[in-house]
Every structure is written in structure tokens, then in C-alpha cells.
Amino acid sequence: MQIFSAAKYLKYILLSGHKKGHGIHSPFVFDLVSRVFRNKIDHDIVLSIEKIRKKMISDKRTINVNDLGSGSAKMKTNLRKVSDIARYSPVPEKYGVLLSNLAAEFGDQHIVEFGTSLGISTMYLASSCSAATVYTMEGCPALSDIARTNFERAGLNNIKLLTGDFDEVMPEILDRNIKPGLVFIDGNHRKKPVLEYFKRMVEISDNKTVIVIDDIHYSKEMEEAWTIIKDSEKVSVTIDLFRMGIVFFREGMNHNDYIIRY
């Protein structure tokens, strides 16, 4: 896995465009990169969330994680320390900032997240878009309990936490007839489930919805899923940031796939 990722990262570095947007001919993508990707987030948001992350890294509790996804590359047993989960599982700070900026730009009234874990990414999504409700799904009850406590610590009340297998709790979102402004797909790094979650979200989305998929180069299986997603009929623009892939459905735009340094 590590050799696979290292080879793919080298290819990404060689092919990726400038992180400031230089050389990007699409006005939409140039604006996205130069303004949204590089937007300055409220320092207090980062300070509050990263303080909670540090608390989790110091947490010596051991919990039983019933991992419903592909499992962890670094944690091989279901009995895991909270400190290890906090160290290896959540999105790093700079990608949390990116999610926060995307939420502020596209979140609108509803944001959907697959994979809460300890709630780090959820808090970044919720903090910069207080008018939106973040529906986040977590398959492990022990992780869900910790995440709920973290949301209380952060003083966030615009998060709806749903606990259970994604296929079981997703109908609670679908039945609300919402149109998500932003979707973040994490928590399961297998081809078939990722494609199914993407399909279900496309069904309830409109042309303004943005879908972000985490760990698109995590494995050969995830790369295959990303390739299929890029070629989907309704997709107009995709951006590969190596860690994450971002999908747009804007009408009137020629289909293009971008690789951008972040």
C-alpha cells in the first residue's frame, strides 16, 4: 500500500498544476483555486478544532471499533486506542481548512458526510457554515459517542449525527428530500460502496452540488472508483488534489479533469 501510494504521489507531483492557479485556463477553476482554496479561515475555528484534536491524541482510552469499511492501514485490530485513531484517521489540518472553505462557499443549507470518526472533519464542515445542517454518518457507536462529545466541546449545534451502517441510516437523509450543497465521502475505502454512495448522492443533488471524495489514491480499488466517477455522465469538472477528489456538475461547462497541487 505504501509503495503504491508513494509511486502515485510522485506521479501527482509531476503532473499537478500550480497551487496558485497559474496556467489554468478555466475561469471557474482558476477562481476556485485562487480564491476558495487559498481563502484565510477564521483562526479561532482552527484553534478550537485543533485543540480538540490534541485532546484526542492524548486520550489513553481503548475502544472497540467495528470498522464497516475497508479497515485501517495502520491499525490492524478492532481494539484501538483513541490516541491512535486521532493520530492516523482524521483529515490533517490543511485539508480540514479546505473542507471548511468549501463548506462556506458551497454548503448552502445542507451538507452530508459519510464517516464521522472522531468528528474532526465534521467540525471543520460545520464551523464555517453555521446556517447549514451537517448530516454526518458513523458506523461505530463508540466513535459516534466520542464525536458527539467533541461537538459539544466545540459548541456546534448544527450537526445531525446518525449512527449505524451507512446503508441503514442513509434513508434518514434521503427521506428529508434535501439538496446537499456539499457532500464529503469518507469512511469506506472500497470501490463498490464508494460508487454506490456517489450514485445515491447524485440522485438527490443538483448542478450546484459539490462532492468531495477522500483518499482517491489510497489503493488501486479507490483509483478505479475515482476513474469511473470522473467519467460519469453528469460530471462536468473534477479536481484531483491527491488526497481528495472534488466533483462538480455545473451546466454549460466542457468536461475537464484537473490535477492541482495543494
Domain of 163, CATH number, reads 3.40.50.150
Rounded to whole angstroms, how far apart are CA atoms 96 and 126?
Answer: 11
pLDDT category of residue 168 using cuts at 50, 70 and 90:
very high
Give yes or no for residue 173 having a pLDDT over 80. Answer: yes
Mean pLDDT for the stretch of residues 126-154: 96
Is a pLDDT exceeding 50 seen at residue 72?
no
Tell me if residue 222 falls in helix, strand or coil. helix
The SS3 of residue 262 is coil
Whether 139 is in a domain gets the answer yes
In tens, the pLDDT along 111-134 reads 999 999 999 999 999 999 999 999
Residue-averaged pLDDT of the chain: 91
Q: Could you give the CA distance from residue 120 to residue 190 in angstroms, rounded to a whole number?
A: 22
pLDDT at position 215: 95
Q: Is residue 8 part of a domain?
A: yes
Residue 4 has a pLDDT of 59
How many CB atoms are closer than 10 A to CB 72?
A: 17
250 Cβ contact list (under 8 Å, min separation 6): 28, 207, 208, 236, 237
Q: What one-character DSSP code corresponds to residue 128? A: T
- pTM for this one? 0.92
- The answer to whether residue 73 is domain-embedded is no
Instruction: Provide the pLDDT for residue 66.
Output: 78
84 occurs within a structural domain: no
Residue 80 lies in a domain: no
**pLDDT surpassing 80 at residue 3:** no
Q: Is 149 contained in some domain?
A: yes
Residue 51 lies in a domain: yes
Residue 103 lies in a domain: yes
pLDDT at 76 over 60: no
Q: What percent of the chain has pLDDT over 70?
A: 92
Give me the pLDDT at residue 48, please: 97
Q: What is the pLDDT of residues 206-251, one digit of tens each?
A: 999 999 999 999 999 999 999 999 999 999 999 999 999 999 999 8
**The pLDDT value given to residue 74:** 56
Assess whether pLDDT exceeds 70 at residue 195.
yes
Domain total in the chain: 1
pLDDT (0 to 100) of residue 51: 98
Query: Beta strand 210-214 with 244-248: parallel, antiparallel or unpaired?
Result: antiparallel
Nearest of 151, 222, 156 to residue 187 by alpha carbon: 222
Domain span holding position 181: 2-58+91-259
Residue with cell string 485532546 = 55
What's the pLDDT at 71?
A: 47
Q: Are 224 and 151 in contact (CB under 8 A)?
A: no
CB neighbours of residue 75 within 10 Å: 17
